[in-house]
Chain A
């Protein structure tokens, strides 16, 4: 990344505020860019403005790994930025698209549904832009959250499978009833402050040796 092409919106040193989210603003028009940067100044975001397009922009995105990208709806770079996950092993980014053209509210809502995380339409003013960026991140977060939930559920299912197998082994080898086998695993887990899944895995690994 060419450092001189990036400009921080304020004098904060990112290292002192590691929790701040990185917003990349891809906009060739400096006047438009400044308007948005002024709005996002003194917020929870660190805003990086990049005024070039095409492959150089792509390289900056890869280096910076932003949390959010803001781009004009009419920018030719949209196709490139929306397909980052197909190029790099980067997680998909929430993308906020802004447009100077005024559309009706329904249209905006429909466009939001159409894939991008949020649209900022019409005149840019502080309250709206800030809240739309917040919403975009939250909305995207919700989507990622659902994915996490799915991963957790899968994990839970697999741990139940382990417990089930361990129980069967105990029932077969120790002639325990199903309830007793379950209590046996649970007691070891409680005594050792371990998860039942971990105890079950230990039992199964012992079982595989015996």
Chain B
């Protein structure tokens, strides 16, 4: 179908629940279907994934949606022309408070029930108290240029809490739950399976997801170097279509459970299906031994039969850039100079989808 310029590709991913589309594409033979032999390489940090993409050690990467913008601006790293021709997932993050903090908040409110999704308002008393004691509450996210970071700040801001009212750390995902056990963290905003893991272990309470905060906002995108795409136009299209079909496959609930099984393998998330399956099935674990909350779009990869879902529309990039400016990651000048259509390449996505439709007819 395609004359791919390069058959053997390496694609970097981070072991998170929303890596399902690339894992499924690999396991279900969708890359092969489109003439590609893709090796998935598990990464341990976003910085290393970024550097490997910039330097050509990997051909493609599943990236945080703000990362291509950060690369184009050279924020903490070499300025590089990274493009995104596809959105791989939307939603998927959650905010979890430590059980200790949650219980404290409950007692401050005379044990009146806290409804979910909860706002940061419930923390106001504790934040004020801890601030005067010079012992601020400590939260963590994984990476600065991430939707987790912007969503968490937004969640605080909606309750008139500023970043200076708390401590915010950057901690690797695998260290989030242990740090909550040790009492080093009072809360975090991360992707799956880490929220569910904290709840299962009885150490955390998940009260908000990104679907509650920014409904269907892009979370992970396909990242390529601009030059690489120019030299491999057909390969790019094959890659887009393989992942697109994988996202469509993931729309069925029975398939979601199978995806959870695949993800739990040692070469992917290396974690029990108990903590991977819930979010994929639209279930948000809240408190240990309490009923989960139904969040159907907790992990969203596609809309059945609608190719628009995975299109990297310019307004998606503009919204992220606005968040980056609001929290001071970029200056108004950088924001003004930013050329989103050169980064979020919806036309590349559309060309691939048009080919697919031609094949069908």
Residues in A lying within 8 Å of B, measured CB to CB: 53-56, 58, 73-80, 82-83, 86-87, 97, 103, 107, 110-111, 113-116
Contact = CB atoms under 8 A, between A and B. Distances in A.
B44 A75 contact: yes
Interface string B140-183: 10111000000000000000000000011111111100110010
B144 A83 contact: yes
A76 B57 contact: no
Nearest to B138: A55
Nearest to A76: B172
Size category of the B interface is 20 to 34
Given A53-B172, A55-B171, A115-B76, 7 more contacts: A55-B184, A79-B45, A79-B46, A79-B172, A83-B76, A110-B54, A114-B80
A111 B55 contact: yes
* Nearest 8 interchain pairs by C-beta: A54-B175, A115-B77, A76-B172, A110-B55, A78-B45, A55-B184, A114-B51, A76-B44
Contacts of A78: 44-45, 47-48
B117 interface: no
Given A107-B55, A115-B76, A79 B143 contact: yes
Interface in B68-112: 76-78, 80
B346 interface: no
Contact of B45 (A76, A107, A114): A76
Nearest to A115: B77
B208 to A, nearest CB: 22
A83 B55 CA distance: 21
Nearest to A54: B175
Contacts of A83: 76, 143-144, 170
Contacts, number: 91
Contact of B51 (A76, A86, A115): A115
B178 A86 contact: no
B170 A107 contact: no
Contacts of A87: 167-170
B240 to A, nearest CB: 25
Contacts of A54: 171-172, 175, 178-179, 184
B251 to A, nearest CB: 31
A115 B78 contact: yes
B78 A76 contact: no
A114 B169 contact: no
A77 B45 CA distance: 7
B58 to A, nearest CB: 11
Contacts of B178: 54
A10 to B, nearest CB: 31
Contacts of B170: 79-80, 83, 86-87
Nearest to B140: A55
A75 B51 contact: no
Contacts of A114: 50-51, 54-55, 77-78, 80
A55 B175 contact: yes
Contacts of B168: 87
A103 to B, nearest CB: 7
